[in-house]
Amino acid sequence: MADKTKALRHIAFIMDGNGRWAKKRLMPREYGHKVGAETFKNIVKYCRTLDIEAVTVYAFSTENWKRPEREVNAIMALFSDYLDVAIKDMMKENVRIVFLGDKSVFPNNLRKKMEQTEDESKNNKYILNVGINYGGRDEIVNAVNLCIKEGMTKITEDDITERLYTKASPMPDLIVRTGGEYRISNFLMWQSAYSELYFTDVLWPDFSSEDVDRAIEVFNSRNRRYGGV
Ligand code: IPE
Ligand code: IPE
Ligand code: MG
């Protein structure tokens, strides 16, 4: 009998290493983001062929605003380009897109495009969460503030879970970080309590479907106990 605990419903990626990938090629960091954006589209498509219910990617953190303006602008331009074409793919692939993070910081036109894409795809079966201006701590604080706004005086774990940006998705089963750093960097702080973690030195622009297979193979060999025996 298949072991149900091993079912992979939700996979998440910390897409790290774009800058170093470009530097190795004596190219500007922005070029790494450009190639990384292509990798993102390919990996999302590949996960869809594996029939994985939810995919989450970390594209830009609440801390990434500290980067040089030129780099931030380049990432936002890539994001805007992606928004122009995303909806077509989402509808074709039956994917609902959800942007994780506080959208109020984005310029009006970008924010409207984000909301439109979310709204048009909202009845699709699979989920793609894109963390942009995303921070795990910000997400928890936001959830608590929503509880306060609703007049709650005592809150439960479920109250918070139901108000996270990821509320439409199951908890992540597997979190993959590329780029050789062994940390979470404020990603899915609440949701990762029992996620399996997989770290690889492969830089994000080089990450391939074979690398996804390798991560899932490792995931399948793990024994998830959730505190039990
Ligand atoms: C990940 O790649 C993309 C973002 C954080 C926006 P990096 O830009 O962090 O690449 P490295 O880690 O500097 O190589
Ligand atoms: C994490 O990568 C954020 C994203 C991949 C979007 P960073 O490159 O920002 O993380 P640190 O600074 O190495 O922790
Ligand atoms: Mg990095």
Known active-site residue 64: yes
Phi-psi region of 127 (alpha: psi -120 to 50; beta: other; left: phi over 0): beta
Q: How many CB atoms lie within 10 A of CB 1?
A: 3
Distance 142 CA to ligand 1 centre (A): 25
CA distance 27 to 204: 15
Q: Which atom of ligand 1 is nearest to the CA of 20?
A: 14
* Contact in structure between 179 and 139 (CB atoms under 8 Å): no
CATH C-level class of 10-134+171-221: alpha beta
pLDDT tens digits along 147-171: 999 999 999 999 999 999 999 999 9
Closest listed ligand to the CA of 175: 2
Ligand 1 pocket member 19 (CB < 6 A): yes
State if pTM tops 0.95: yes
Closest listed ligand to the CA of 63: 2
Ligand 1 pocket member 18 (CB < 6 A): yes
Its sign, for the CA torsion 161, 165, 169, 175, is negative
Domain boundaries defined on the chain: 10-134+171-221
Tokens of 48: 């869809």
- Is residue 3 over pLDDT 90? no
In the chain, helix, strand, coil percent, each to 5?
50, 15, 35
For ligand 2, residues with CB inside 6 Å are: 14-16, 58-61, 64, 181, 183, 185
Closest CA to 57 of 37, 87, 34, 80: 37
- Say what the pLDDT of residue 145 is: 98
pLDDT tier for residue 6 given thresholds of 50, 70 and 90: low
* Contact in structure between 5 and 26 (CB atoms under 8 Å): no
Q: What is residue 171's DSSP assignment?
A: P
* Cβ-Cβ contacts under 8 Å for 193 (sequence gap 6 or more): 171
